[in-house]
Amino acid sequence: MFDNIVSRRYTNCAKWDEIIDEYGIEDLIPLTVADMDYRIAPEIVNAVIDAANHGIYGYTNVSEKYIELSKMWAKNNYGFCPENEWIVYCPRIIQAISLIIQNYTEKNDKILVFTPLYDPIQNAVRINDRELVECPLILDSGHYEIDFEDFEE
């Protein structure tokens, strides 16, 4: 499964097509988003085909199964059990972060981030008219640590 190379160039792929558009070079390797470049399991392909064969492409609601699996994941990974109404489906992480910024802060509020940080997250702060405050992490012996003095400041 992992030794079949699939070209994603010119497929409207954010990872590959944006780097081509930005630099005009096709043989760069993007080391940006966690977007996989291998085919998914045949069982998943078949489930998507079965859903598509239904033939109706209307809006759907988040299922109870989705809610329960989300709660199970939070409990298993963080020992935390969210309430059902706290779980909101959002298809992309940057849009989710923008919604959090919009709903829990006001324009011109300061938002502290630890850097280095994925650039689109920093941009989400800026495009939502909040002030980005950076707290650079300290690289020590190959791992990052919080500079607690800077953090407190």
Q: Which of 126 and 8 is assigned the larger pLDDT?
A: 126
Q: Are residues 95 and 146 in the same domain?
A: yes
Domain stop point among 43, 58, 73: 58
Indicate the DSSP class of residue 58.
Answer: -
How much of the chain, in percent, has pLDDT values that exceed 70?
Answer: 99
Q: Which domain covers residue 146, as residue numbers?
A: 90-152
Whether the Cβ atoms of residue 135 and residue 146 lie closer than 8 Å to each other: yes
Per the domain annotation, does 111 fall within a domain? yes
pLDDT of 4-37, one tens digit each? 878 888 888 888 888 888 888 888 888 776 777 8
3-state secondary structure of 87: coil
Per the domain annotation, does 78 fall within a domain? no
Residues 55 and 9: their CA atoms lie apart, in Å, by: 29
Domain stop point among 37, 58, 79: 58
Per the domain annotation, does 85 fall within a domain? no
Residue 1 has pLDDT above 70, yes or no: no
Which tokens in the block code for residue 3? 């030794």
Q: Which of 27 and 75 is assigned the larger pLDDT?
A: 75
Say whether pTM exceeds 0.75: no
Q: How confident is the model at residue 68, as a pLDDT?
A: 96
Indicate the DSSP class of residue 141.
Answer: T
Domain stop point among 13, 41, 58: 58
Per the domain annotation, does 103 fall within a domain? yes
Residue 39 has pLDDT above 70, yes or no: yes
Q: Are residues 2 and 47 in the same domain?
A: yes
Per the domain annotation, does 137 fall within a domain? yes
